[in-house]
Amino acid sequence: MGLFGKHHPKMLKTQKINYSDLYFQLRLSRGDLSLKPIFIAASVELGNSTTKAILTATDLKSGRTYILDKVVRMTREAITHTHVFCHTISLVDLSEDTIAELVKKTLLECAQSAGITIDDLHFVVRSTGVTACFSKVEEVEGVIKALAKGCLLAGVPPRKMISPMLIENIPPDLRAFSRMTKTYFDGAVTGTCPPSGESIVGNEMEGELVTSGLKEAAKWLNVDFRSAVLSLDFGT
């Protein structure tokens, strides 16, 4: 009967939308131009082949997320022969400074293409799939530090790269949509917990992000998707 003979999967195809178009589309559909419950996030990832920045805008009333823009650059642009501390699976040598500069360029290009500024971002999440030399915790820490440095160079303040611990740390116009006063922070990302037993785990964020993506797709397709779910990201 084949894979889909019995089951009928629901497919979701993402589409990009300009930020200004999204803003007016949501405001006019509600007849309320005073409220702006849109949460803008950037995802920056350093991979073995490519380095990517993806900008999303989430309508906090419906929970649906829109793709604003995406920029992909080749990781080999960050190749260097000095201060090397890690390499990709194809043996492209990288340093903290070259990674940071590549991340900065990618994020700034994506924001400009989407028609927003870095100040418009509410949160920036960083991840890496460069696990070719992740045999030591120091190497993992080095890549994570380089990613953060690149975001800082792009103009992202540190407070937008860590989860808010208090309701006061959330922008005033978004506080009404927060559940912070009704729950507590346990390190989970969209209800997804990282592996336990290690202080730093390579590809930890990828596993959390792929689960977040599945949960987000379910909102568009009206699929009942909830915990407990196990997601595995194998990268290259």
Q: What is the phi/psi pair of residue 233, to 5°?
A: -115, 115
* More confident: 219 or 158: 158
Q: What is the pLDDT of residues 159-194, one digit of tens each?
A: 999 888 888 888 888 888 888 888 777 777 777 776
Q: How far apart are CA 23 and CA 1, in angstroms?
A: 46
Answer whether residue 174 is part of any domain. yes
Token pair in block for residue 220: 């568009």
Are residues 79 and 94 in contact, defined by beta-carbon separation less than 8 angstroms?
yes
Answer whether residue 11 is part of any domain. no
Answer whether residue 214 is part of any domain. yes
Q: How far apart are CA 22 and CA 224, in angstroms?
A: 26
Token pair in block for residue 72: 């992909």
Token pair in block for residue 159: 């407070």
Answer whether residue 198 is part of any domain. yes
Q: What is the pLDDT of residues 80-96, one digit of tens each?
A: 888 888 888 888 888 88
Q: What is the pLDDT of residues 26-54, one digit of tens each?
A: 766 656 555 567 889 999 998 888 999 99
Are residues 154 and 107 in contact, defined by beta-carbon separation less than 8 angstroms?
yes
Planar angle of CA 190, 39, 232, nearest 5 degrees: 30
Answer whether residue 90 is part of any domain. yes
CA 24 to chain centre: 24
Number of domains in the chain: 1
Q: What is the pLDDT of residues 185-217, one digit of tens each?
A: 777 777 777 667 666 666 666 677 778 888 888
Q: How far apart are CA 26 and CA 8, in angstroms?
A: 31
Q: How far apart are CA 93 and CA 130, in angstroms?
A: 11
Domain containing residue 50: CATH number = 3.30.420.40
* More confident: 52 or 224: 52
Domain span including residue 174:
19-221
* More confident: 235 or 223: 223
Residue 197 pLDDT: 67
| Length reported for the chain | 236
Answer whether residue 173 is part of any domain. yes
Q: What is the pLDDT of residues 105-158, one digit of tens each?
A: 999 999 999 888 999 899 998 888 776 566 677 777 888 889 999 999 999 999
Q: How far apart are CA 229 and CA 84, in angstroms?
A: 38
Answer whether residue 153 is part of any domain. yes
Please report which residue ranges of 119-167 form alpha helices under DSSP H: 137-153
Helices (H) and strands (E) in the chain, counts: 4, 6
Answer whether residue 202 is part of any domain. yes
